[in-house]
Amino acid sequence: MNIKTSFLAALAILPIAASAFPIAIAGTEGYSVIANGTNPVIATYQGNSAAYSNDLFLAVSVASSPADTYIFNNHANAVGDTYNLGTFATGTELIFRLYVNNTGDNFYTGPASRNADGMAHARVENEWMPGTTLVSFEDLFGTPEGVNGYNDLSFSFTNTTSSAVPEPTTLALFGAGLIGLGLMKRRKA
């Protein structure tokens, strides 16, 4: 085996980092960020690989609003910058909006139905660090990139947890199932 072959073989066994910043784990797409306690929620900018310029907001509702609270821009802020969002009642869902300056698109945390393309654009990893969720966004319309995506922006939020929020159609089907069970039980009686 020559030196070149040995070097290439050694490289093949080295672990390769997928990203220089943290990305929330796959399978947490569409989860929501929930306030967990009475201490302030602190946002920390963790990094990005986005070519587009993106702004992060705490949304008042699921509609672009001038009342939304601006938090960070991925190109203007430095990794490690923090923003105190204040305190929230335990159990309050915090909806974050990513505004893509280059395209005018808005993407929200939580269910895919909140986004114009009907796709989840944020992963929300619970307990990324104690009492802290990690949120990673995908900024391309119609193309969340699966396991290798959601690498465009990452932010962490202290004093939060995450939860899956069922889509309205899922809730409707669940409700219909409960009604059906109730009718079957009633019929047997």
User: In the prediction, which pLDDT does 19 show?
Assistant: 52
Query: What CA–CA distance (Å, rounded) separates 123 from 31?
Result: 7
State the total domains in the chain.
Answer: 1
Is residue 13 a part of any domain in this protein?
no
Query: What CA–CA distance (Å, rounded) separates 123 from 154?
Result: 9
Is residue 78 a part of any domain in this protein?
yes
- Which pLDDT tens digit goes with each residue over 37-57? 889 999 999 999 889 999 999
Is residue 4 a part of any domain in this protein?
no
Task: Name the one residue in this structure whose structure tokens are 């009604």.
Answer: 179
Task: Give the CA distances from residue 86 to residues 22, 58, 94, 159, in Å, rounded to whole numbers and listed in that order.
Answer: 24, 11, 11, 11
Query: What CA–CA distance (Å, rounded) separates 32 from 35?
Result: 10
Is residue 182 a part of any domain in this protein?
yes
Is residue 31 a part of any domain in this protein?
yes
Q: What residues of the chain score a pLDDT lower than 50?
A: 3-18, 167-175, 178
Query: In terms of residue numbers, what domain contains 177?
Result: 18-188
User: Backbone dihedral region of 37: left (phi > 0), alpha (psi from -120 to 50 degrees) or beta?
Assistant: left
User: In the prediction, which pLDDT does 147 show?
Assistant: 62
Is residue 5 a part of any domain in this protein?
no
Global pTM value: 0.76
User: In the prediction, which pLDDT does 162 show?
Assistant: 92
Which CATH number do you get for residue 109?
A: 2.60.120.400
The answer to whether residues 126 and 159 touch, using CB atoms and an 8 Å cutoff, is no
Burial of 135 (0-12, 13-18, 19+ CB in 10 A): buried
Cα angle vertex 28, ends 22, 34, to 5°?
Answer: 90
Is residue 142 a part of any domain in this protein?
yes
